[in-house]
Amino acid sequence: MAAVAQAKPDGYTLGVAPAGALTVNPHLNSSMPFDPKDLAPITLLAEIPFVLVASASVPAHNATETIALAKAKPGALSIGHGGNSTAMHLTAALFTQKAGISMELVPYRGTAPAAVDVLAGHVPFAVLDIPASRQLILEGKLNAVGVSSVRRLPSLPDVPTLAESGIAGFESVGWFGLVAPSGTPADIVARLNDAFVKALKDPVVAEKIRTLGAEPAPTSPEQFGRFIQSESTKWGKLISEAGIKAN
């Protein structure tokens, strides 16, 4: 991202920016090799939703039951996630904060070991991505508490969102977006936006993105810019209040 921010703003150097680089890391690090304001938003590319799951032996099949269980055993339950300061960590922290419950957040070195431990019952809950959890949910080996996106997922249509399960306004997704160096002419940004939005709306492309566990999310440059700002505000507030530190 630093290389993109420092490149000539002529439309020939672009970056695929992950959520963390633009909206999380600036709140975790006292210094950054670039300023997110040095990047011009073109379009959001894809969102990566997560799912809060419970071990099959845990009597929690939705957010209401999970919250009730956590309140009955304050601090005794835990949620595994894919690593400190990752999107899955932030999703778990946001869930406990908005639900008003106390649960230990257990970092793993990636999604796979977290999935293994929640499947084995070593940790009662976990925040996983869709590729790591979908088949286990469909086979009944894990209970799906809820998905973290604002809308239900085509790949798990019967699993409610956490927002519709009683945690009003809940939304937490990983994402990638296309950016250019700040100062790139508006007409070039518009041409790039048109091309990428057209591609993202192609059914073949959209289906390929979904097989990777993401959802296509084309936007205008202005919408993407507002989204970056709202995400930065949300995660900055959570990081501060929850005392989350960088690795």
Give the DSSP per-residue string, 207-228: HHHHHTT-EE----HHHHHHHH
**Counting runs of H as helices and runs of E as strands, what totals does the chain give?**
10, 9
Helix (H) or strand (E) holding 231: helix 221-242
Helix (H, G, I), strand (E, B) or coil at 138: helix
> Which percentage of the chain shows pLDDT scores above 90?
97
Q: What share of the chain is helix, strand, coil (3-state, %, to 5)?
A: 45, 20, 35
Task: For the chain of 247 residues, list the mean pLDDT of each consecutive stretch of 10.
Answer: 97 97 95 96 98 96 95 95 95 97 96 97 97 95 97 94 92 97 98 98 96 95 98 97 87
Dump pLDDT digits (tens) for 2-24.
999 999 999 999 999 999 999 99
Q: How far apart are CA 217 and CA 47, in angstroms?
A: 6
Q: How far apart are CA 7 and CA 96, in angstroms?
A: 41
Helix axes 221-242, 87-99, angle to 10 degrees: 70
What does pTM read for this prediction?
0.94
Q: How far apart are CA 216 and CA 206, in angstroms?
A: 6
